[in-house]
Structure 1
Amino acid sequence: MSIKKRVTTFLNHHHHTLAQRWILQSHIRTTLSHYRIDTQQFIEEFASPIVQSFADILSGRQSIEDLSIRQKLIHFLFDKMVSIQDIFLLCIALRYTLFQLLEKEKILTSTHKESIKILSKIFDTNLSLLLESFEILSLQQSYQRESNQHSYQIQELQTILDMQKSLIFKVSHHQLSFANQTFYKAVNIKDIEQFHKRYPKVWGFIEKVSHLNRLFQAKEYAQWLQQLLIKHQGRCEATLFDHRQNHTILVQMEIQPLKEQEKESYIITLTDITQRKKELHTLTQIAYSDTLTGAPNRRVFQEKFQAALKSYQHDQKPFFLLIIDIHQLHEINTYLGREVGDAILKSFAELMMKNLSNKYFFARIDGERFALITYQSKLEEAQKSAQEVIKEIHTIFYTHTEHARANIAIIRPLEGDDLQSMMSRADTLIKQMKECRTHDISLFLDDSNLIEEEKLFSEIREKFLNECQHALTHETSLDVMNFYKEVPIQSDGKVIKVIGDTVWIQIRKVALHALNFNPELYIRRDKKPHIKAKVTDVNSDKLMVRIEEIVPLKESPLDRKNIHVRLNPSIETLLHYQNIQIPALLETISIDAASLKTDYIFNLQLSDTTTIHTIFRWDGKEVPLKLSGTVHKIIETNGSFKVVISLLHFKAIEETIAPFIAYRQIEIIRELQNALL
């Protein structure tokens, strides 16, 4: 989570606590008491909402220029006749309290220079606006109260106005009646007379405004002014050419009507917010960009995806989602250093952002994954885009001979789809491509076969549920199997109840106990595919289980020709291939297959010939073994790899492995029986 988000979350959750710490400081309580201000009332009405408003500014829900609580506070302090010095000290105390608390909570430290700078800028801006508004309020009151006094007082007012950084001027009956020196210098005018000659219309020096600009550009100034006051409380942004800086600036305009004795008279302030807007843009870029690559992040991707999906659902505008998975990033980081992996990600993102047209949207959505939304109508076009992406990534070399590679899933939207369902199909396709493990090849697959397969599987699920209903009606049983440490446990499953996609089945007690270690059941059907289901509830008294998430299987443990056993503990092993040896753990074994777990596989591929070197120990025996075979499967899970090896038949299989499996099988069965007793 970014520093900005953490600070925002902290302020949202602890705004009242922070407000109390701020106001209950002894010197602040003394100051408030001096002006007869109730401390608790001030906390509830002003302090707590002010802290909350800072959270809203950081999250972008509110602009710093439009804080209603600041205006409310200004008028309150003004009515209490609080001095501007005490107002300044009150604001500084808030700043000190916030930074002190953020440091104490270890959210912000001296190393977070950019975040401290941004927060300080918000404080400084808010303080400046508060003091400026307070000063303007004072000036307005002074002007109305002292308008009939001597001319030296008017000169004093002019001097004070001239000291302000903001452009301040008065309009009476649609004409400029006075202005401070800051205003004159900005518009490059000496005095009111010269202004009237250059700008017959008082608003002519402003190029455009953010609200009601059509009226403004049509020079319907009177109508524009009245609607601005009614609809936007006299506030808007405006652009004008500042002759002091010799470029166009963005200003925050605030228009304050004067009271009855001066009808059609207004005080206007123009505050330069050009730099603030740039900083806000920078903050927005940080919030919406991936910190490593500079590419749009997952947050932006989700927004763009939802927009594309909405257009597809409402207006039938087609698009494709391409999920790009970089090969072997974990291994590259481990063996060559994270800086090499980071360089691959950055180079790829730079190439994509440089070469993509507006027909695409590109983002980094996870560690080694990127997303590409293509606004194309045909699958062939999306496949061509995938080929172009692969060409780009193949130009990135991280050694003299090795270039980066990737797998790409091409997903089309279907009726009823959402981000989760489309990402699920992408995950399945990427898993399939990873399991192919062919040398030096980047692959891409679209979800056409997956969609057809899901339709077929949906029909098979429906048939299976009908078979369950038939078994319930005719009191026949299902051939149910579950596994305890890879040893099969068969039950004649009696169907008790079928509701929708949920089935209740009665099984053997020993099978029920085995579910504590592996909550999956397999049901053998007369005709393939067989079924796998997840056990979601168990009734031990009635030996009954509830199964859901019913999945037809292309291949399953039910297809095994030989008994497998799980080793406990796993056996340390060395896996040899191509003059490389990899430390691994042997987890399961049969006379025709072995399953190993390893953190790294280098360039191990399907069908590679390998040798397993290990030592089997059981029943007082210790037998060194060397087994040969070919790689049948490689499955990546949670940063490690499961490697399944099809074993070649050697004398060691008969002399050592077969007796060991028989011994281990009996051991597992006894273990299960003892647990039942």
Structure 2
Amino acid sequence: MEQTKTLSTQEFLKSLTILYVEDNEEIRLQLSLFLKRRVGELITAANGQEGLTLFASRQPDMVITDILMPVMDGLAMARAIREQNDDVPIIVTTAYNDDEYFMRSIELSIDRYVLKPTDPHQLITALEKCARLLWRQREQAEANRYLRFVLDIQPNLLMVVNDQRIEYLNRAFLDYLGIESVKQFHDRLEDLQLKVSLDGADYEPINQNNWISRLLKEQEKPPIVYLKRNCPHGAGDHEGEVRPFAVTVNAAPESGKYILTLSDITFIENQMRNLEEIAYTDALTGACNRARLEGVMHAEMHRAMRHRSPLSIVMFDIDHFKKVNDTYGHNAGDDVLKKLIELVKNNLRASDTVARWGGEEFVLITPESGSEDARLLAEKLRKLIEQTEMPQAGGITCSFGVAQYRAHDSIRMLVERADQALYEAKSKGRNQVCVDS
């Protein structure tokens, strides 16, 4: 507050508008002459009701009022003023020392008291003290306005957190959520469908009690928050879109507040997803590759054990595929593999996974399916493949081996049993389904 020290209080008073309320005309005239030489503008009133009307219309910077007045007393007027403006400095002049008046004054947060008969120098001292306080308030308000301006021009979503409660959201944040204020944010938090991930895998719904504290704890690895976009009035092409944001937490020095910056990482996440797709997808057929298959199988085996639910796999390959390559060429063989997996994918559930095990050999993972359900699926696929015309090669057939997961099976044990069932189907003449016993 270096500027407060160098600022002339007398000059600052010259810029202020003061409301002076006094029912005694002689006192009012005398003090008015004194005050007019020291303040920018002086507005006078003869009672509390008149003073309240002038306050509403003129919005003075400070108020000086007597207590005991007709129509409306000074404290009643002060209470009404406080309802309109809680910050305006109020100075009371009174000849009364009744405890009740002072208690009421304390309740109203009266800033200064000057006893009657009013000593003009005591009054000006009280005015100067209030003026310095007012200047500091305005200086702080200006700093806050500048801070809000700086925050509002940022393209990133920003929030200010105080004692684990959001006290400010910048314009970009409000516009993204389609709301107008922080109050709306708190009122509609459950409807906004916010989710948070602290480990990059599990996204939990956000509620008033947990999310800020959890975000503040994650200092080393930025958490990811998923926000649903709500365009104002339901407009915009991206209404309902959910985007990921990386959260950076910065502590405001000596204030106990935190500024959280949410950076949109949609592009980065899409790039990572694309890279993951490339890393875990068979380039020729579009099925999962073997590395991805083992990860999915490991997860599904744990889930089956945890929930005591059935899980089966189906291993299948193309009968006499070498003859296709030898007769029509490897390009034709590649086209057959692509057409085969397209056909299989179109006849699986969303929870099923198909992966290329190697060459013309593939594996299906079918969660929540016992060996009989998996056999029926394999039989359905076998018939569809048999009835489908393949590029250049014409008709082909496939053989299938089914195995159901058993407690304490390893991936290798489960695959070996499915492979044995497939070998049995081959040995029995191909183009059929066999189930591991």
TM value normalised by structure 2? 0.52
What residue is the counterpart of 1:350 in the other structure?
342
Query: 2:328 corresponds to which residue?
Result: 336
Aligned in 2, Cα 1:345/1:255: closer, same or farther, shift over 3 Å? same
Q: Is the 8 A contact 1:324 1:371 kept in 2?
A: yes
Measured after TM superposition, the shift of residue 353 of structure 1 is: 1.6
> What residue is the counterpart of 1:271 in the other structure?
263
Local SS of the residue matching 1:210 = strand
Deviation per CA, 1:24-73, whole angstroms, max 9, x where unpaired? xxxxxxxxxxxxxxxxxxxxxxxxxxxxxxxxxxxxxxxxxxxxxxxxxx
CA-CA distance at 1:337 after TM superposition: 2.5
Contact 1:347 1:396 in 2 (8 A): no
1:339-488 residue pairs with structure 2 within 5 A?
339-357=331-349, 360-374=352-366, 375-377=368-370, 379=372, 381-398=373-390, 402-413=394-405, 417-428=409-420, 430-431=422-423, 434=426, 442-448=431-437
Instruction: Using the TM superposition, name which of 285-294 and 361-370 deviates more.
Output: 285-294
Match of 1:225 among 212, 218, 231: 212
Q: Structure 1 residues 359, 211: CA separation in 2 closer, same or farther (over 3 Å shift)?
A: closer
After superposition, where does 1:563-578 map in structure 2 within 5 Å? none
Whether the 8 Å contact between 2:336 and 2:391 is mirrored in structure 1 is: no
Q: Is the 8 A contact 2:336 2:393 kept in 1?
A: no
- Where does residue 247 of structure 2 map in the other structure? 253
- Please say if 1:195 is aligned against 2:181: yes
C-alpha contact 1:348 1:396 (8 A) present in aligned 2? no
Distance 1:348 1:168, change over 3 A: same
Deviation by residue 1:420-457 (Cα, 9 ceiling, x = unmatched) = 34444555555565566x6xx61333444xxxxxxxxx
The residue aligned with 2:289 is: 297
Closer, same or farther: CA 395–232 of 1 in aligned 2, 3 Å: farther
Say yes or no: does 1:208 pair with 2:197: no
Native 8 Å contact 2:399 2:431 kept in 1: yes
Q: Which amino acid aligns with 2:268?
A: R
Secondary structure of the corresponding residue to residue 358 of structure 2: coil
Residue 256 of structure 2 is aligned to residue 239 of structure 1: no
Note the C-alpha offset of 1:393.
1.1
* Letter of the 1:229 counterpart: L
- Which stretch of the first structure deviates more once superposed, 162-171 or 205-214? 205-214
Give the Cα–Cα distance (whole angstroms) in 2 for the partners of residues 157 and 435 of structure 1: 78
- 1:216-257 deviation line (CA, Å, top 9, x unaligned): 43x34xx64334323567844141436487434422333323
Check conservation: 1:175, 1:202, Cα contact below 8 A: no
Match of 2:316 among 304, 324, 331: 324
Contact 1:256 1:267 in 2 (8 A): yes
User: Which residues of structure 2 form unaligned runs of 5+?
Assistant: 1-136
1:632-672 deviation line (CA, Å, top 9, x unaligned): xxxxxxxxxxxxxxxxxxxxxxxxxxxxxxxxxxxxxxxxx
**Equivalent residues of 2:314, 2:365 under 8 A apart:** yes
Report the Cα distance in structure 1 between the residues aligned to 2:190 and 2:306, rounded to whole angstroms: 45
1:394 aligned counterpart, secondary structure: helix
Matched letter for residue 407 of structure 1? S
Greater RCO, CA 8 A, separation 6+: 2
Of Structure 1 and Structure 2, which has the larger fraction of its residues in strand?
1
Which structure has the greater CA radius of gyration? Answer: 2
Asked whether the 8 Å contact 2:328–2:393 carries over to 1, the reply is no
Task: Trace 1:130-141 onto structure 2 (pairs within 5 A).
Answer: none
Deviation at 1:389, TM superposition (A): 2.0
State how far apart, in whole Å, the 1-side matches of 2:424 and 2:191 are. 65
State percent identity of aligned pairs.
23
Contact 2:195 2:204 (C-alpha < 8 Å) held by counterparts? no
CA 1:272–1:432 in 2, change beyond 3 Å: closer, same or farther? Answer: closer
Q: One-letter code of the match for 2:194?
A: K
**Cα pair 2:318 2:397 within 8 Å, conserved:** yes
Aligned equivalents of 1:303 and 1:403: distance in 2? 33
The answer to whether the 8 A contact 2:315-2:363 is kept is yes
SS of 1:355's equivalent? coil
Which residue number in structure 2 is paired with residue 165 of structure 1? 155
- Structure 1 residue 366: Cα displacement: 1.3
Say which SS state the counterpart of residue 278 (structure 1) adopts.
helix
Structure-2 separation of matches of 1:227 and 1:359? 32
Aligned counterparts of 2:190 and 2:409: Cα–Cα separation in 1: 54
AA matched with 1:253: V
Matched pairs, number: 288
Note the C-alpha offset of 1:354: 1.4
TM-superposition CA deviations, 1:110-140 (whole Å, max 9, x none) = xxxxxxxxxxxxxxxxxxxxxxxxxxxxxxx
Partners of 1:322 and 1:372 within 8 A in 2: yes
Whether the 8 Å CA contact 2:339–2:390 is kept in 1: the answer is no
* CA distance in structure 1 between the aligned counterparts of 2:261 and 2:304, rounded to whole angstroms: 47
Deviations 1:499-558 (A, max 9, x none): xxxxxxxxxxxxxxxxxxxxxxxxxxxxxxxxxxxxxxxxxxxxxxxxxxxxxxxxxxxx
Distance in 1 (alpha carbons) for counterparts of 2:185 and 2:306? 51
Asked whether the 8 Å contact 1:324–1:408 carries over to 2, the reply is yes
Provide closer, same or farther for how the CA distance between residues 299 and 258 of structure 1 changes in structure 2, counting only shifts above 3 A: same
3-state SS of paired residue (2:365): strand
Contact 1:327 1:407 in 2 (8 A): yes
Amino acid at match of 2:431: S
Amino acid at match of 2:434: L
Q: Structure 2 vs 1, CA of residues 216 and 356 (structure 1 numbering), >3 Å: closer, same or farther?
A: closer
